[in-house]
């Protein structure tokens, strides 16, 4: 399966690396080409890099691993190419400003992924997952699971069959997939 990664920072590079190890074709992208190239090089296994639009078109599944507040920008840049696709959203409503970590209020009484679904477009098939571990833990735990060690749980939330299609990807990344319910119940 082909996976496009939009955002090749801490989470995007760790997730993409696990997916390459799990046998997936991965194309990394970021705001700047250098981060995507570095993530592809670190992942090895024929991983590629390109622009966010190339990642959106390449992926049968696309992960949007950018800061929570960058989603409107991503929607404007590549939203059309995500139409109908399964989109993994690992974002948390947290921002870092002036060296401080802030928890942001999600508008309109929505859960965070319900809001990101609204931002990206109702015709994308959003699944919230890979947001519950720090990036270094994600890589360590996933790698251990892929090597036959004990598997950590990885919850996922979604509103349609999209979430079922993400289960093999979570398992191939080295985790035990745990159905957390719909987006209304998501962390
Ligand atoms: N870090 C963690 O441990 C952790 C854990 C759980 C969940 N999360 C969530 O995962 C998401 C990413 O966090 P992170 O820590 O990985 O952030 P990060 O290290 O700051 O990486 C963010 C990435 O997004 C890219 N980016 C920013 N704007 C973009 C745009 N318009 N189009 C394409 N790429 C864009 C950046 O590109 P450049 O590299 O070119 O700047 C960078 O590669 C956040 O929503 C966070 O809440 C993070």
Structural domain boundaries enclosing 123: 2-185
Q: Is there an atom of ligand 1 within 6 Å of 7 CB?
A: yes
Q: Angle at CA 27, nearest 5°, toward 64 and 183?
A: 25
pLDDT of 160 reads 83
Residue with tokens 């799990």: 22
Q: Is there an atom of ligand 1 within 6 Å of 140 CB?
A: no
- The model's pLDDT over 20-60, given as tens digits with 9 standing for 90+, comes to 999 999 999 999 999 999 999 999 999 999 999 999 999 99
Residue 59 and residue 98 in contact, taking contact as beta carbons nearer than 8 Å: no
Domain CATH code at residue 89: 3.40.50.720
Share of the chain above pLDDT 90, in %: 97
- Residues of 116-154 as b/e, b for ≥16 C-beta within 10 angstroms? bbebbeeebbbbbbbbbbebeebbebbbebbeeeebbeb
Q: Is there an atom of ligand 1 within 6 Å of 52 CB?
A: yes
Strand partners, 101: 96
Share of the chain above pLDDT 70, in %: 100
Q: Is there an atom of ligand 1 within 6 Å of 64 CB?
A: no
Q: Is 109 left (phi over 0), alpha (psi -120 to 50) or beta?
A: left
- How many other C-beta atoms are found inside a 10 Å radius of the C-beta of residue 109? 7
Looking at residues 2-14, what average pLDDT do you find? 98
CA pair distance 146, 103, nearest whole angstrom = 33
Kindly report the average pLDDT of the chain as a whole number.
Answer: 97
Q: Is there an atom of ligand 1 within 6 Å of 74 CB?
A: yes
Which residue's alpha carbon is at the smallest distance from atom 18 of ligand 1? 9
Residues 6 or more apart whose CB falls under 8 angstroms from that of 94 comprise 68, 101, 102, 103, 104
Ligand 1 atom closest to the Cα of residue 78 is 32
CA pair distance 152, 160, nearest whole angstrom = 24
- The model's pLDDT over 101-150, given as tens digits with 9 standing for 90+, comes to 999 999 999 999 999 999 999 999 999 999 999 999 999 999 999 999 99
- How many structural domains is the chain composed of? 1
pLDDT of 164 reads 93
Q: Is there an atom of ligand 1 within 6 Å of 53 CB?
A: no
CA pair distance 27, 37, nearest whole angstrom = 10
Assigned token pair, 43 = 């992942």
Residue 172 and residue 24 in contact, taking contact as beta carbons nearer than 8 Å: yes
Ligand 1, pocket-test mutation among 8, 67, 138, most atoms within 8 A of CB = 67
Residue 1 pLDDT > 90: yes
């Amino acid at each position: 399966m082909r996976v496009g990664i939009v955002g090749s920072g801490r989470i995007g590079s760790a997730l993409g690396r696990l997916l390459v190890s799990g046998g997936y074709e991965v194309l990394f992208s970021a705001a700047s080409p250098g981060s995507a190239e570095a993530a592809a090089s670190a992942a090895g296994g024929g991983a590629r890099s390109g622009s966010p639009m190339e990642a959106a078109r390449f992926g049968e599944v696309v992960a949007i691993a950018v800061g929570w507040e960058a989603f409107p920008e991503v929607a404007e840049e590549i939203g059309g190419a995500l139409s109908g696709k399964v989109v993994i959203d690992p974002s948390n409503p947290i921002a870092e400003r002036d060296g401080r970590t802030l928890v942001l209020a999600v508008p309109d009484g929505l859960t965070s992924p319900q809001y990101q679904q609204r931002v990206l477009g109702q015709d994308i098939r959003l699944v919230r997952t890979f947001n519950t571990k720090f990036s270094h833990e994600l890589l360590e735990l996933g790698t251990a699971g892929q090597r036959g060690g004990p598997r950590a749980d990885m919850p996922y939330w979604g509103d349609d069959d999209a979430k079922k299609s993400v289960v093999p990807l979570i398992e191939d990344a080295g985790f035990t997939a745990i159905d957390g319910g719909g987006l209304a119940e998501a962390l």
